[in-house]
Structure formats: C-alpha cells, structure tokens
Structure 1
Amino acid sequence: MSTPPFLTLPAGVRRTFVETSRGAFAALEALPGSGVAERLPALLVPGYTGSKEDFIAILQTLAASGRRVVAVDMRGQHETPGAGEDPGAYALPALGADVSALLEALGPEPAHLVGHSFGGLVTREAVLSDRVPPASYTLMSSGPGAVTGQAADKARALKDSIPLLGMEQIWELSIGPDAVARGVSPEVLDFLRRRTLGNCPVGLMTMARELMTAHDRVDDLAKHARDTGLRTLVLYGEDDDVWDPREQAAMAERLDSAKVVIPGAAHSPAVDAPETTASALIDFWNQTERCGRPC
C-alpha cells in the first residue's frame, strides 16, 4: 500500500466527481494556473488498495504543462461508490469499461492514460476494447499478468481475511500497526484508515483474485499498438518489489515501447520520486502530441 507524502491539496487541485455513462467517480482534478488547458488531458488510474491520492505529488506539475489532469478512485475504492455485492462489477472487464467511460467523459479530445500497478491491468482492458482510444498509454509499475511471490501472498492473505475478520479488524490487527511501525504521521495514518475502511469488501476480494489470476496480454497489446499507432510507455522504479524490474523491462521490449526507470523509486514512483516521474510523463506526452499517431 503506497502512502501519499502529504494530503493537503496543492494549488490548482480540487476534489470533484466525474460523471460518466457508468456512474460518478471520485476524482482529484488539476488545471493549469491560467485555467486554460492547451494540451490534451490525462487520466490517472491507481492500483489495488490505492486511490487517487497516490498521485497528489505529481498533479500540479503535470497540470502546469498545460493540461487538465484527473486522478480517480476506481469503482468501490475509497470515495467512489461501489456496485453492491456483485463480484462481476469489480472484475477486469467491468473496471476496464469504467475507464473507457471516464475517457469518454474527459473528451471530446483523447486523453493520455496512465495505469499504476493493478490499474495497469485495468486500463489495459480499456485500451484493448478500443471503445475510446487514448492519446497515449503508460503502464506505471505494472506487469504482463498476475503478480507472483510475496505480492501474491499479500493479496491472497487480504482476500482470505476479509470474510473472516472484516476491514475494521484487519486495520486494527495488521494494516494500522504496520503503518505505525513505518513511522507514518498521524495525518496520513488517519487518511489510510479512512481509505481502508472506505473500500468495498467485495471489490477488494474480487480485485485480489483478478490480480492473482490475470492473463499475460502483452502480445495482444503489442498488436493493438502496432495496428492503431498507439504510443506506449513502460515506467517503473528501479527497486520495484511487486513486479520484478526485469519483468517490466522485458514487457517494454515485447511492446516495442518507450521505457523509463525511475532512480530511487520502488513500486510507487509518483510518491517516491514525484518530480522525476512527472517529468518523464510530460516528456512522453509532449512527444506524442508533437508526433501524432502513428509516430
């Protein structure tokens, strides 16, 4: 679970909801200082147990490049309402359809799409559906398919614990004490508690299952990018401990995509190295807009 470095919103960033054909999604929206967006917008999608707040540290910088930037909570995450007890509403195809609806709502111009961690698997579904083509696509600290090793063990443990203990007890027995041991400030600790308890339990269990069983669809994505001219970027921290950096580098080669490795960052580059991460995204987006599709 990533920890936002601060929770006070920077200037030009506001809390809002994005209304779509599939419902309303809680969001953080950043606009250029002038209030006028001269470049294409961007949509940022968080990972499992994450939220829009994971992108706080980069929103202002991204918007200053002349674009509207929107980070969202996925369905059932934190402040976005869930869809009841139907597990199918939180499976990859449904979450991908949500992302397509968000891209559509940000239109009429295409938006740059970024998926962090599990959000990469979700956004990949949206891209492959080709319902609403993005301007570009970035996989941030994501992988070709299911997580393995310690990351899979953690997801499985949470999934199995939810029906037995409930989220309140899981926070009190595990997540909360772990955060305290890491020296998390009281302000952030309070936020993490609210975020944890705000998540839909059925959503968390279903997303965990998807995270542990997702198929490798890199070849499908590579073909789609070739056929449509979609520019892709694989961006990750040099010390990522969820998907091995070597696995992500191999994915970039299979995609024939641009690749950026963020020094000094682990699984959450937007938290660990915000300026470097924002600069890499801006460079990629600006180059895409200069070249057009294909480039």
Structure 2
Amino acid sequence: MSKPRSLRLPPRTRAYRLRTARQEFAVLDAAPAGRSRGTVLLVPGFTGSKEDFLGLLEPLGDAGYRAVAVDGRGQFESPGPRRRAGYTPRALGGDVLAQVAALGDGPVHLVGHSFGGFVARSAARLDPSAFLSLTLLASGPGRVGPDQRAKIRLLRAALPVLPPSWVWAVTQWLDSRDPAYLADPPEIAEFLARRWFSTQPAQLIATGRQLRIEPDRTEGLAALPLPIHVAYGDGESVWTVGELAHLARSVDARHTVIRGAEHSPNVSHPEELTAALAEFWAGVTARTTAP
C-alpha cells in the first residue's frame, strides 16, 4: 500500500464528495496555479485511497493542471456495496467514466496507480473518448508476482472469517517483518488504521482476487486509441521491472523509470514524477492540436 508522508491538504485543494450519476465519491480536488493546461484524474490502488496522491497535488497544480484524486467505490470515504459482485472491472471502470462526466472538464488525463491501473484501463476500454491519455503508474500487464499473490491470498482468506481488527493486526505484523520496515509516525499510523477499517471488506476481497488472477492485458492496451505512459520506480517489486519495460515496449508507450523510487513514486518522488507526467502530457497536447 502507499503511505502518505503527510496528511496536510496542499494549497488550492478542496476535499468534498463528488456527486455522479452512479453515486457520490470522496475526492481531493486541486486547482491549477494560473491558466489551466488540463485536468488529471488520479485512481489509487489496492488498500489505498485518494491520500496516496497528496504529494502530487501541489506540483501538478504548479505545472498548470487541475488534479483530482478519488476514493473508488467502497474505498475509504466513498460508499460501496457489501457484496463482492459490486466490484467487477466493468463496474469500477464505469465509475471512472461517471467521475469524468461529473467533473465537467473532459476529456481528462487518466492516471492509475497499481490496481488503479487495472481500473483505469478498464475505463479506457469502455470509452476511450473520455480520456486524452492513460498513465499506468507502477501497474503491470497482468497478475502480481508470487510473493504478492501469497499475501493477498492470506488476506482474502482471513477477511470473511476473522474480525477486521485481527486481520489488521496480522497485516501490520507481516509488514514489520520486512527488512526495510520503518515504524510510521503516530498521525500516519492512525490514518492507515482508519482507512483500513473504513474500506468495505468486499472491496478488498474482490479487488484482491483480480490482482491474483488478472490475465495479461498487453494486447488490449496496444489496441487502445490513446497515448499511453508506463511509469515506475527502478526499485519496483510488485511487478518486475522487466515485465513493466516489456509492457512499455509492446504498447509503444512513453516509458519513464524513476531512479530511487519503489512501488509508490507518487509518494516518494512527486516532483520527478510530475516532471515526467507534464512532459508526456505536453507531447499529447502538441499532437492533438497540430494542424
């Protein structure tokens, strides 16, 4: 999961519930500094939330973009169904299209982090005309690697039969066994627990299953009529860097590797990631406005 380093709301940012034709979604909406160069919709990953993008909102605004980060259905502060059937790829992709329509700034640049990349590409398949571009941030072509699959299998088995507090305690213990583990500051630890207990268990079970079984979607991505950007850190571990590099080549995508970053460049390297995104989007704009 991504862990924000601060919960401070950046300048020019509003937190509110976005009313759409499907339901309301909790969002963080950051206005651009000066004239707008476009709107960006940011979709978080498994066990994540809109706060995963807090570090990106200010630099994206400074670069001239309205940046909107969203909690998906059943995720943290957005309501969602209690049944797993409510979290199909089509349903989640349809939510993104409803969010774009409600923002009123479409088409938008779409960015999906990790599992959010699965959601983003599902939305792009449903209606590519809603988007100017698609960025897959630390998001692979298909299912996650074996170590991650084992962790998700344990989580999915425990959630239906154990109290949420027990499952949370186990996940915290597993995280602490990582040699690179560092204890979170109290404010962040409290936020992570609150996010966990606010997220619908059905959302975690259904999306976790998709991460474990998702087939390779390279061919479908290559067929999308959208400019694609594949970006990740050189320390990526949920998918291998080889898989992600192959994906970028296979779909003729813009390819960005952020040195020193791991699975969440949006948290650890927001300035470098913003520079790469803005350069990609400027190229997209140049192509679409050329005579």
| TM-score after normalising by structure 2 | 0.94
- Distance (Å, rounded) in 1 between the aligned partners of 2:152 and 2:100: 28
Aligned pair partner of 2:267 in 265, 271, 274: 271
Contact 1:112 1:136 in 2 (8 A): yes
Correspondence for 1:139: 136
How do 1:72-111 residues align onto structure 2 when only pairs under 5 Å count? 72-83=70-81, 85-111=82-108
C-alpha root-mean-square deviation of aligned residues, in Å? 1.9
Q: Tell me, what secondary structure is at the counterpart of 1:260?
A: strand
CA displacement at 1:179 relative to structure 2: 6.2
- Distance (Å, rounded) in 1 between the aligned partners of 2:289 and 2:251: 16
CA displacement at 1:131 relative to structure 2: 6.0
Correspondence for 1:221: 221
The alignment covers a number of residue pairs equal to 288
Contact 1:18 1:25 in 2 (8 A): yes
- Distance (Å, rounded) in 2 between the aligned partners of 1:32 and 1:2: 24
Q: Give the 3 Å change call, closer, same or farther, for CA 124–293 of structure 1 in structure 2.
A: farther
- Distance (Å, rounded) in 1 between the aligned partners of 2:129 and 2:23: 17
- Distance (Å, rounded) in 2 between the aligned partners of 1:14 and 1:176: 35
Report Cα offsets for 1:115-166 as digits up to 9, x if no partner: 0000101111110112653011100000111112111111111111111213
Sequence identity percentage: 41
- Is structure 2 residue 201 aligned with structure 1 residue 205? no
Correspondence for 1:232: 228
* Structure 1 unaligned regions, length at least 5: none
Report Cα offsets for 1:49-103 as digits up to 9, x if no partner: 01110110011110122221100011101101112x2212112111111111112
CA displacement at 1:178 relative to structure 2: 3.8
Q: Give the 3 Å change call, closer, same or farther, for CA 173–108 of structure 1 in structure 2.
A: closer
Contact 1:78 1:196 in 2 (8 A): yes
Contact 2:7 2:51 in 1 (8 A): yes
Runs of 4+ aligned residues of structure 1 deviating over 3 Å after TM superposition are: 176-181
* Structure 2 unaligned regions, length at least 5: none
- Distance (Å, rounded) in 2 between the aligned partners of 1:144 and 1:269: 18
| TM-score after normalising by structure 1 | 0.93
Aligned pair partner of 2:278 in 265, 276, 282: 282
CA displacement at 1:169 relative to structure 2: 1.5
- Distance (Å, rounded) in 2 between the aligned partners of 1:162 and 1:195: 15
How do 1:122-133 residues align onto structure 2 when only pairs under 5 Å count? 122-130=119-127, 132-133=129-130
